[in-house]
Homo-oligomer: A and B are copies of this chain.
Amino acid sequence: MITLREIAAAAGYSIAVVSRVLSPCPHEGARVAEKTREHIRGVALRLGYRPNRTAEFLKRGGSPVIGVYVPDSAEAHPAELVKGICLEAGLNSFPLAFFYDATIDGFQRFIQETINFRNSGVIAFPSFQFDERIAEQVEMYCGHGGRMVMINNPGCGSAANLVSVDIDDFSGGAMVAERLLIRGGRRFLTICNQAFPARHEGFCRKVESAGKTPEIIASAKDFNAERIISMLLSMHQNKSNLPVGIFAASDREAVEIITMLAKCNVKIGRDILIAGYGNQYLAAHVHPGLTTVVQPFLSAGRSALIKLSAMIYGKEAESEKLMPELIIRESA
């Protein structure tokens, strides 16, 4: 491991000067001659210097660790987000501590731990609705100098040191509607998911803007596949309805419908168009393949870490909104 001491020796300067050149946030008024600066940078590069965050933060009175709060679910999103965060953390030599959870109490414990350990910052992706108790925790943490990046929680407020990275659900829903319109849909059904109202909203607004009327056939809460199948089959009898377009705000429901409908002698992808949301693993491998919306969680993770590390070092960071993308397969 290359240390400042070795670079100092090789460059012919003191450790202090080297620190001032290489530190990610040198103290106020740390002046080094431009020529010296370049020289030292060259030596550091040649020797393959990587900063020892452990020592850096020990000195600064804390830990370099970034706490990450992720939903404790079997879906693919958290995994992609985690991957993105890990990727960028590796590039920046930040160690990570993950907290898998899905409760408000857990979030509170997470914040408490973060404070206890004097971790350097937090990335949070709560799967539950943003509520007052969360807001309280966020305010408490950020109010006392904590830095936080919040993922996919539009409306979590705008405390100082709080930045958000959101993936636009409204546009995702609209993309699905657009596709169903292009495919000549006559009727537009949607399974509304309480957890993601914006997807549903985006879908409905787009359908309406084309002069059609979206029909809500279920909410994810009272989702009953059999009932939906029989409803679709009766619509299917009247050719003037076809094609019927149906949007499930998560792949799980979409896959249930697609696979139950498969044995009903219905042309999925022609007479009945089905689209989901999330591009879960296996969604590409059901038959017919599921048309769905991919969310750029990998990018969101990377972006979150980049923003957070900027904030840790006292720089400005701006909130960001990322666009999802429609993946077209055979089902719609």
Q: A55 contacts which chain B residues (CB < 8 A)?
A: 58
**CB-defined interface of A276-288 with B at 8 Å, one 1/0 digit per residue?**
0000111101110
Please state if B96 and A1 are interface contacts (CB–CB under 8 Å): no
Within residues 244 to 261 of chain A, which ones have a CB less than 8 A from any CB in chain B?
251-252, 255-256, 258-260
Q: A96-B95, A96-B98, A100-B86 in contact; A285/B252 too (CB < 8 A)?
A: yes
CA–CA, A252 to B287, complex, Å?
Answer: 12
Question: Given A78-B79, A281-B76, does the pair A48, B116 have CB atoms closer than 8 Å?
Answer: yes
Interface residues of A in 32-63 (CB under 8 A from B): 48, 50, 52, 54-55, 57-58, 63
Q: What is the CA–CA distance of A282 and B257 in the complex, to the nearest angstrom?
A: 12
A135 to chain B, nearest CB (A): 24
Q: Which of A122-160 contact B (CB under 8 A)?
A: none
* A205 interfacial contact with B, CB 8 Å: no
Question: A329 at the A/B interface (Cβ < 8 Å)?
Answer: no
Q: Which of B54, B74, B116 contacts A64 (CB 8 A)?
A: B54
Instruction: Check if A83 is an interface residue, CB within 8 A of chain B.
Output: yes
Q: Which of B93, B225, B262 contacts A262 (CB 8 A)?
A: B262
- Known A100-B87, A117-B93; judge A286-B259 contact (CB<8 A): yes
Residue of B nearest to A72 (CB): B83
> A59's closest neighbor in chain B, by CB?
B58
In the complex, chain B residues whose CB is within 8 Å of the CB of A63: 52, 54, 95
Q: How far is the CA of A183 from the CA of B326 in the complex (A)?
A: 42
Chain B min CB distance to A97 (Å):
6
Q: Which residues of B contact A265 (CB under 8 A)?
A: 263
Q: How far is the CA of A287 from the CA of B48 in the complex (A)?
A: 55
Q: Please pick, from B100, B116, B259, the residue contacting A287 in the complex, using a CB distance under 8 A.
A: B259
Q: Are A262 and B287 in contact (CB under 8 A)?
A: yes
Q: Bound state CA distance, A97 and B90, in angstroms? A: 6
The listed residue (B1, B58, B87, B255) touching A54 by CB distance below 8 A is: B58
Q: Is A215 an interface residue (CB 8 A)?
A: no
Would you call A118 an interface residue if the criterion is a C-beta within 8 Å of the partner chain's C-beta atoms?
yes
Question: Known contacts being A54-B63, A117-B1, A282-B281, is A83 close to B96, with CB within 8 Å?
Answer: no
Contact call B79/A90, Cβ cutoff below 8 A:
no
Residue of B74, B95, B286 near A281 (CB, 8 A) is: B74
Q: A260: nearest residue on chain B (CB-CB)?
A: B287
Q: Give CA–CA (A288, B276) in the complex, Å.
A: 19
CB closest residue in chain B, given A51: B117
Question: How would residues 103 to 118 of chain A score, 1 for a CB under 8 Å from any chain B CB and 0 otherwise?
Answer: 0000000000100111
From A66, which residue of chain B is reached at the shortest CB distance? B95
Chain B's closest residue to A252 (CB) is: B285
How far is it, in angstroms, between the C-alpha of A286 and the C-alpha of B287 when the chains are bound? 10
Interface string of A184-197 (1 = CB under 8 A from B): 00000000000000
The interface of chain A, by Cβ under 8 A from chain B, is: 1, 48, 50, 52, 54-55, 57-58, 63-65, 72, 74-76, 78-79, 82-83, 86-87, 89-90, 93, 95-100, 113, 116-118, 225, 251-252, 255-256, 258-260, 262-263, 265, 280-283, 285-287
Which 3 interchain pairs have the tightest Cβ spacing?
A: A95-B95, A86-B98, A262-B262
